[in-house]
Amino acid sequence: MFRKTISYVVLGCVGLFMLFPFLWMFSTSVKPAGEVFKSFDSPIKALVPGEVQWQNYGKVYDATQGMGGGFARWYLNSILVAVVVTLGQVTTSACAAYAFSRLKFPGRDKLFLGYLGTMMIPGAVTMIPNFILMRKITDWLTVAAPFVNWDAPRVISLFGRAYDVGRLVGLDSYFALIVPAMFSAYGTFMLRQFFMSIPRDLEEAATIDGCGLFRIFTTIILPLSKPALATLGIFTFLGNWQSFYWPLIMLTQDSMKTLPLGLLSFMGLYSTQWTLLMAGSVMMILPMIVVFIIGQKWFISGIQLGALKG
Amino acid sequence: MARTKRGRTALAGYLFLLPNLLGFLAFTLIPVVASLGLSFFEWDLFTPPRFVGVHNFAALLKDHDFWRYAFNTVFLMLTIPVNILGSLFLAMVMNQKLRGIVAFRTMYFLPTIVMGVGTYLLWRWIYNPDYGLINTIITHWLPRWLNDGISRLGVEWPPQWLSSVTWAKPALMFMTFWTVVGGYNMILFLAALQGVSPELYEAADIDGANRWQKFWAVTWPLVSPTTFFVFTMSLIGGLQGGFDQAFVMTRGGPAGATTTISYYIYNHAFAWNHMGYAAAMAWVLFTAVFVATMLNWRFGGRVVHY
């Protein structure tokens, strides 16, 4: 009994330590702007807002309007990038994992070793040539296919309003944000390990019934792998929602920015408006918390799966 | 080829692999080779590349900034053992038949999940010298004699944190501790502990072992493969780390105190257009990661009990 009480006290204190910064973030986000710069004679008083101002959240939206569409646009960009990258990565990884785990073809095992070998390489090594590729690709394409204006940023009209959607490819393009992130050696590896653990009996029965390889993939392998696919999906979504380095070097236009970058340029203009910066941060991390809490079961088992097999 | 069954399977194999393989070639394999090639050139992206042999690598050896930032990188990695022991401790407390463990686990994992620009901004605010949470706590919750005592030692107190050459690194290290202590490593330790057979502890009880002896004789050896794994991963991560947080919180300052190798690579490649030099540095970093991992496997393997 005594031991349990001690354990709860320890767990509770650690929990407070973890949550305290988030409480501070949230309380700052609803404080009146002036209250942030008052000295308090106790941290608890500093933590409780004298007056709750929900309108700070709206102010973030208003204050960033001039920055290429602002917060709402950054939110849309983040959703678009994270969702498309996740769908793409799960699809390409699952297909490749099926090939690596079930289909025999010359060179298969060497290729798989090649995949594994690159997982240890620091991002900086590939980032530099990839940056150069995106920087130069419009020039190269202009030479190869001069009938398309590769360099021009595009604008589309929707519901009577014009939206900047960047170039087709290269810097400041959705292509650059999405396509390079759609292929993952790690995801391929993880799904292959999972597919290997699925018994082959079902597939053999299906083959006798005249099922082709594609039908076996879609009707047997994929349905049986839902937990692994969900795990990879959650990992990828959370990783890309916050991805920072690659968008940072790809983007200059405000209207193309994802949330982390948008928030950073917002900070550049309003460096002391902590109430608004924290409101923006709260809005940015909220979807991650929701996705994490919903997908927690898969997420936790996925961590263990990756480490045990790796 | 597609006439036979085996031929059909092989063709299907290539087709299933194709999309992923194209991406892998275009954005991983070819860039790896290209950056190695690039490291022997000087290129600012405007004038044509110039072959310089191993000059970039030689210059790197003599680059004082590089060594300083390498030191910073290693210094920031000093938290790794502390983080790992903290995770192990938390996992041990959680590995009991208690109600509400899932709630605690979720709480502890939150910082890892949301880590990024949002939490970096948050900690920038927390470390604000005048109105931030930490200095409010220091001034009002710590006893006066302690605060006076510390300042009498000649230490900057309360610290200016991110704008202080002395305190910027510890500030980032403390934030890292908060971010990772309840994260992946704790989950892995928890899984490892759940795999330890209770009979071993019962046997230790019969032998009259106290809690401390049980830890060293049973728990520590049995979780050692996990410890080894998380240490290796932290090492790999730590050597390449430090860019995102420093870029958002300190811009690598004050006076370069929080610039790491990855930040220095960013500066050369994307701020100053020294593509060849940056590529050379990225390859040196890769080599360091590789050597560290190999050494770890070679010598760390000895303390692992399977």
Give B165→chain A minimum CA distance, Å: 21
pLDDT at A264: 92
DSSP state of A22: H
Question: ipTM of the predicted structure?
Answer: 0.90
Using alpha carbons, list the distances in angstroms from residue A278 to A264, A271, A284, B4, B122.
Answer: 12, 11, 10, 63, 7
Cross-strand partners of A166 = A154, A173
Mutation target vs B (from A5, A37, A183; most B CBs, 10 A cutoff): A183
Residue range A59-117, pLDDT digits in tens: 988 888 888 888 999 999 999 999 999 999 999 999 999 999 988 899 898 999 988 88
Q: List the pLDDT tens digit at each of the 306 positions of chain B.
A: 456 878 888 888 899 999 999 999 999 999 999 999 999 999 999 999 999 999 999 999 999 999 999 999 999 999 999 999 999 999 999 988 888 888 899 999 999 999 999 999 999 999 998 888 888 888 888 888 888 888 888 888 888 999 989 999 999 999 999 999 998 999 999 989 988 888 888 888 888 888 889 898 889 988 988 898 899 889 999 999 899 999 999 998 899 999 999 999 999 999 999 999 999 999 999 999 999 888 888 877 666 665
- Residues of A whose CB is below 8 A from B28: 118, 121, 126, 183, 185
Q: How far apart are the first and last CA of chain A?
A: 39
pLDDT at B304: 67
Contact A124, A152 (CB under 8 A): no
| Single pTM value for the model | 0.91
pLDDT at B157: 83
Residue range A270-306, pLDDT digits in tens: 877 899 999 999 999 999 999 998 888 888 877 776 6
- Residues of A whose CB is below 8 A from B192: none
Q: Is the pLDDT of residue A240 over 80?
A: yes
Q: Is the pLDDT of residue A310 over 50?
A: no
Contact B78, B173 (CB under 8 A): yes
Average pLDDT over residues A206-234: 88
Contact A259, A76 (CB under 8 A): no
How far is it, in rounded angstroms, from Cα B19 to Cα B111?
35
pLDDT at B301: 65
Among A8, A96, A285, the residue with its CB nearest the CB of B17 is A96
pLDDT category, A307, cuts 50, 70, 90? low
Residues 122-161 of B with CB under 8 A from A: 122-123, 125-126, 128, 130-131, 133, 136-137, 140-141
For B46, nearest residue in chain A (alpha carbons) = A136
**A224: CB partners within 8 A, 6+ apart:** A198, A202
Q: Is the pLDDT of residue A309 over 50?
A: no
* Residue at token pair 């604008």: A155
Buried b (16+ CB within 10 A) or exposed e, A32-68: eeebbeeeeeebeebbebeeebeebbebbbebbeebb
- Residues of B whose CB is below 8 A from A183: 19-20, 22-24, 27-28
Phi-psi region of B63 (alpha: psi -120 to 50; beta: other; left: phi over 0): beta
Phi-psi region of A158 (alpha: psi -120 to 50; beta: other; left: phi over 0): beta
Contact A126, B35 (CB under 8 A): yes
Residue range A242-278, pLDDT digits in tens: 899 999 999 999 999 999 999 999 988 887 789 999 9
Average pLDDT over residues A24-36: 88
